[in-house]
Every structure is written in structure tokens, then in C-alpha cells.
Amino acid sequence: MPNWQDLEFLSSSSICKRCLGRTFAKVGHGLSNPERGEKIAFALNALGLSLSITEEDKCSICHGLFLNLRNLCAPIEAELTDYEFGSFLVGSENSQPSELEKDLESRFGQGEGLKKEFNREFGKLLSNRMHKDVDLKDPDVIITVSLEYLSYRFWFKSLFIQGRYRKLVRGIPQTRWIIHDKHDSVEEFIGVPAKSMVRAENFYLHAAGREDVDVLMLGKGRDFVLELSSPHLRTIDLDALAKEVNGSGSVEIEDLRIVGKEEVEKVKNSRHDKTYMVTIEAAGNLDEASFLKAVTALNGKIIYQRTPLRVSGRRADLIRERMVKKANTLSIDGSHAVVEITAEAGTYIKELVNGDEGRTNPSLSGLYGSSLKVEKLDVLEIKEET
């Protein structure tokens, strides 16, 4: 029970019924803050305190904030007509509790915060006017209002498209090279048309691992999620997108669907065994018997790979243990051979062949007893997750 002194302090404050009601938000159920404030004022006056409630525009806590809500709606609604969205959430910023609010809290305990009431009331108002739902957990749009300046900004949820890609030509990196003025990457082949279809701000390719620039990605393809940031549209004709990308002749996509953000991490963290077709080149003619024997020896072998020299600047230098699941010679012709290798996720295939100056051990070069290198490398198949 508050003491008399505190109640007298309350009576002397210039506070509106809404803010009075919010101060005692835990009192009474099913009442709006102004209704609760009115009842409290009535009760206090009945106790003999002369509490006079001020109008909202003269209130030293809210300064008439809630009188402005309708004016604030119009420009927000106008800007959002340009965007397709199903749900939204209101947030607010730039509001420090006033001295009076802090004082009231220390005397009467915690009520409801001004921000909280604003977010709720403004959300309700916008929801009724725009005929959109408020979604606290996963809104398409967050509208953040500065309570000090009554300015606002939007955050739009990204749109995520999952699928699988094949890379049919060599020389294309998986993602954009920002520092190069080069405009063909798997990311751009898929992202550029998708971006224009939904009028997004930008696009990012998240994939289940990556192949080198000079490596083809064949078979059923590699899993990816394309993220489209701040899209104006959230419905997209995925067949039309696939058709446009596939028309490039360089990259093909299939099995497209709209997914949630959580798929990004799942795809990035997934680990799959892969089957490669490797064209190998030796300095001179290959000795057929020794070569076949070396390839066969790789079957089921555990190999140790120190971070390859060619990526050592970008990745931590450590030793990885990987298993070669299957290795099979398809053909030998002079100084060239074609080998099919199935290896655990994260195996460096070029280094498995050339030995990387002893950093990969055992290697095909080591087993064969002479230096071999990869001339051409294709991913034939990405196995189902193991």
C-alpha cells in the first residue's frame, strides 16, 4: 500500500489519465490505461487528495504522443503500399524515461513502459487501417518509430529461396568477387534475375560448400539458399526464375521453394560426401600397373590434410582427417588418366592428387611414387547427408 506522502506527490504531478493508468498497469484487469487512470483518480479524490488530471498534450510524461498517432499513420501507410507484406511489428526508439517516470516507479513500483504502450497502441491502429496482422515473432516488416522525433524507418525481412544448382562451365566463381570487376558468378547468375523479379535491394548466395572456380558442379547439383534483402514483392514465379537462369547455359537451378531463414544455417552446415571425376596429368607416360595399384590403395584410406598452401592465407592452418570412400580408375591414356573419387565432405581433391608438398599424406602422387597433378576436376554427385 503506497504511503500518504507518495500519494500527495502523485497529486501534485501534472500527469494525464493515460500515464496515471500506465503507472499502475498491474491494477485492474481488462481496462485500457486511460480508463484505469480515471478510476484511480476518482478513488484518490475520494480519499481526500485533490488530484487533477491534465490533458495529454500538457502531460509531462507523454507530451501528447498518443494524440499524434493518426497523423503518423498516413506517411507510413503510403510508403508501405509499395511493398508486399503479410504481417508487421511496431518498435520504438529514442525514448529515455523522464525524471517524473523514474520517480513514480521508485515510489509505486514498475508499471507499463511508455514504449510498450506506444508499440501496442500504434500496432493496433495500423493493423486496423492496413488490414495486416501484428506478428511478434516473425514479421515481414518492422516499423521503428523514434518517439523523440516521430520519424520512422523500416526493416524488411529477407526472402529466402532454396534449391540446387549445377555449374556447367569452368571459370565461374561461386560468389561475387567484389574487388574484381567481374560479373559472372553462380551467385549473380541466380541472384540478378531473382533480385529484379522481387525488386530486392541485394542478394546473397548461401551454399552447402563450394567448388573451385575451375571445377564443374554436375549431377543433381549443390544445395543453396538465395537470400533477397528488402524485397518489394514476396511472391515470385519460381518456374519463371528457373527458366531464366537455365537459359544462361552456364548455371542451372531446380527444385526451388520459398523457405525460412533457418534453412541458411542448415544448408551451410550440411556435410555431404562427394563424387568427383578427376583428370590427372603426369610428367611422362603413366606406368599403368603402378598407377592402378596407387588408385586402388586410396580406397577406404584415411588421409591427413594440412590446410593447403593455396588457401593457407584465408583458412586456419590445421590438419584435417578425411576418408577417401572410393577410388576407381576409369581410363589411362599416355600421360593422362581419369579417376572417379568419392571422398568425405571437406576433402581437398587437388591436394589429394598432388600431395601439396607433403602437406597431404598419403596422396596419390606419394602412392604412385612420382608427381601427378589435376588437370580437370568435376563434381559428379553430392551424396545425401550422412
Residue 373 CA to residue 351 CA, distance in Å, equals 8
Q: What are phi and psi of 70, to 5 degrees?
A: -65, -40
Rank residues 20 and 256 by Cβ distance to Zn ion and give the closer one.
20
Q: Are 208 and 273 in contact (CB under 8 A)?
A: no
Tell how many helices (H) and how many strands (E) occur in the chain. Answer: 12, 14
Q: Is 212 a catalytic residue?
A: yes
Least Å from the CB of residue 223 to Zn ion: 54
Amino acid code (one letter) for 205: L
CB count within 10 Å of CB 69 equals 16
Rank residues 101 and 188 by Cβ distance to Zn ion and give the closer one.
101
Residue 60 CA to residue 52 CA, distance in Å, equals 14
The site for Zn ion, by CB under 5 A, has a size of 5
Rank residues 59 and 341 by Cβ distance to Zn ion and give the closer one.
59
Does residue 61 interact with Zn ion by CB under 5 A? yes
Annotated catalytic residue, options 6, 103, 135, 212: 212
Least Å from the CB of residue 44 to Zn ion: 17
Query: 302 - beta bridge partners?
Result: 323
Does residue 245 interact with Zn ion by CB under 5 A? no
Rank residues 61 and 126 by Cβ distance to Zn ion and give the closer one.
61
Does residue 62 interact with Zn ion by CB under 5 A? yes
Residue 269 CA to residue 386 CA, distance in Å, equals 13
Q: Which residue has the cell 496515471?
A: 20
Does residue 19 interact with Zn ion by CB under 5 A? yes
Q: Which of 10, 53, 59, 343 forms a contact with Zn ion (CB under 5 A)?
A: 59
Helix axes 186-198, 238-246, angle to 10 degrees: 140
Does residue 16 interact with Zn ion by CB under 5 A? yes
Region binding Zn ion by CB under 5 A among candidate stretches 61-69, 196-204, 209-217, 291-299: 61-69
Least Å from the CB of residue 271 to Zn ion: 57
- Catalytic residue numbers? 212
Residues near Zn ion (CB under 5 A) are: 16, 19, 59, 61-62
